């Protein structure tokens, strides 16, 4: 893979990033690159540190070591709001919309970093996510789980980011709605955004990915084209389950979700406890 410094298609380059919640690091010297107009997925067993890595990139957690190059500029340790202004958007798995605000107000909040053309951008979001148009005046809490995930994506895109980090956008959705979300993710890729996605449905994610990273115990295990990782029988057996179908594969043995407790925004699920909250 070309060096990030000389490859202008690399919008995000994470180098040797270490981060955690206390003295013991959760993510250890992790490396990740995301290129413009590509889907980069991050998979691995429960508790591997995938969400922690996204938080450290997004500035929600301050890394203790390493670099985060956003379009060539080192932004490690900067506050999330500054990063949004610089083109890095982050959609956490839960609490990713304001439930009491209307859909339009949520979009406006997402567009707060824009100096102008909030309405135009909101209109573009309605074109990208047609479900939202019909719901513009409704409080976000009245949306289905899948629609809320759409709104969360649209809200993040209001800032017109060059890099979009998304944590488990299909968690808890019915297979049909999962498909809809993937259709949208692909449409976002078409707009030139570098997308970094954490996914529970490992097989599906790797099948969709331009590039995949497997994170185990906070460390990079391997990376490569998503299909190549999927087709590697040893890796498949160890980290992504033995299933040969493109649906329902899991990242190792799924364990109960921890930490991020639900605020009622989005169902928190594992492969075992997947609930259908989409329409
Ligand atoms: N807020 C927190 N405070 C302390 N420890 C945390 C916190 N959030 C996560 N951890 C711990 O960090 C480790 C990695 O968690 P993380 O949520 O990043 O994993 P993950 O790969 O996203 O897992 P999952 O697939 O279950 O979402 C786990 O041991 C977890 O218990
Ligand atoms: Mg996680």
Write down the residue that tokens 């992504």 correspond to: 240
Of all ligands present, the nearest one to the C-alpha of 27 is 1
d(CA 93, CA 222): 24
pLDDT in tens, 232-255: 877 766 666 544 443 333 333 333
d(CA 153, CA 3): 30
Alpha carbon nearest to ligand 1 atom 5, residue = 21
pLDDT in tens, 146-181: 899 999 999 999 999 999 999 999 988 888 888 889
C-alpha 63 – ligand 2 centre gap (Å): 17
Of all ligands present, the nearest one to the C-alpha of 202 is 1
**Helix (H) or strand (E) segment spanning residue 74:** strand 73-74
Question: Which of these ranges, 13-17, 148-152, 218-222, 272-276, has the smallest mean pLDDT?
Answer: 272-276
Alpha carbon 200 to its chain centroid, in Å, reads 11
pLDDT at 240: 61
Closest CA to 43 of 199, 228, 275: 199
d(CA 97, CA 266): 10
d(CA 189, CA 195): 7
C-alpha 48 – ligand 1 centre gap (Å): 7
- Per-chain residues with Cβ under 5 A from ion ligand 2: 50-51
**pTM of this structure:** 0.85
Alpha carbon nearest to ligand 1 atom 29, residue = 47
Supply φ then ψ for residue 26, to 5 degrees.
-95, -45
What tokens were used for 165? Answer: 């980090």
CATH 3.90.550.10 at 10-239, yes or no = no
- The confidence band for 49, taking pLDDT boundaries of 50, 70 and 90, is very high
Alpha helices in the chain (DSSP H): 50-58, 80-85, 103-110, 118-128, 130-133, 145-157, 175-190, 202-208, 226-231, 233-239
pLDDT in tens, 99-158: 999 999 999 999 988 777 899 999 999 999 998 999 999 999 999 988 999 999 999 999
Contact assessment for residue 93 and residue 255, using Cβ atoms and an 8 Å cutoff: no
Question: Which of these ranges, 23-37, 62-76, 201-215, 227-241, has the smallest mean pLDDT?
Answer: 227-241
Kindly report the length of the chain: 279
Q: In the chain, where are the structural domains located?
A: 10-239
Question: Which residues form the pocket of ligand 1, taking CB atoms under 6 Å from any ligand atom?
Answer: 21, 26, 44, 46-52, 257-259
Closest ligand 1 atom, residue 45 Cα: 25
Alpha carbon nearest to ligand 1 atom 13, residue = 47
Determine the average pLDDT of the residues in 256-269. 30
C-alpha 232 – ligand 2 centre gap (Å): 24
SS3 of residue 140 by DSSP: helix
Of all ligands present, the nearest one to the C-alpha of 20 is 1
Supply φ then ψ for residue 43, to 5 degrees.
-125, 170
């Amino acid at each position: 893979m070309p060096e990030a410094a000389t490859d202008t298609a690399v919008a995000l380059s994470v180098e040797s990033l270490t981060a955690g919640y206390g003295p013991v690091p959760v993510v250890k010297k992790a490396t990740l690159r995301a290129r413009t107009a590509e889907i980069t997925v991050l998979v691995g067993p429960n508790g591997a540190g995938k969400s922690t890595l996204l938080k450290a990139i997004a500035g929600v957690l301050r890394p203790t070591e390493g670099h985060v190059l956003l379009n060539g500029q080192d932004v490690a340790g900067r506050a999330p709001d500054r990063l949004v202004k610089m083109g890095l958007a982050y959609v956490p798995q839960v609490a990713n919309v304001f439930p009491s605000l209307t859909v339009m107000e949520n979009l406006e909040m997402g567009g707060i970093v824009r100096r102008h053309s909030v309405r135009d951008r909101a209109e573009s979001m309605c074109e990208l996510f047609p479900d939202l148009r019909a719901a513009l005046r409704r409080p976000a809490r009245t949306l289905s789980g899948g629609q809320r995930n759409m709104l969360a994506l649209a809200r993040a895109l209001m800032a017109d980011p060059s890099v979009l980090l998304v944590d488990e956008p299909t968690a808890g959705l019915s297979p049909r709605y999962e498909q809809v979300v993937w259709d949208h993710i692909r449409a976002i890729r078409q707009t030139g955004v570098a997308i970094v996605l954490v996914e529970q449905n490992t097989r599906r994610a790797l099948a969709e990915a331009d590039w995949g990273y497997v994170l185990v115990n906070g460390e990079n295990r391997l990376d490569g084209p998503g299909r190549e990782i999927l087709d590697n029988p040893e890796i498949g057996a160890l980290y992504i389950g033995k299933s040969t179908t493109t649906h329902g594969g899991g990242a190792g043995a799924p364990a109960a979700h921890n930490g991020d407790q639900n605020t009622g925004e989005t169902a928190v699920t594992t492969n075992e406890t997947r609930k259908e909250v989409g329409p």
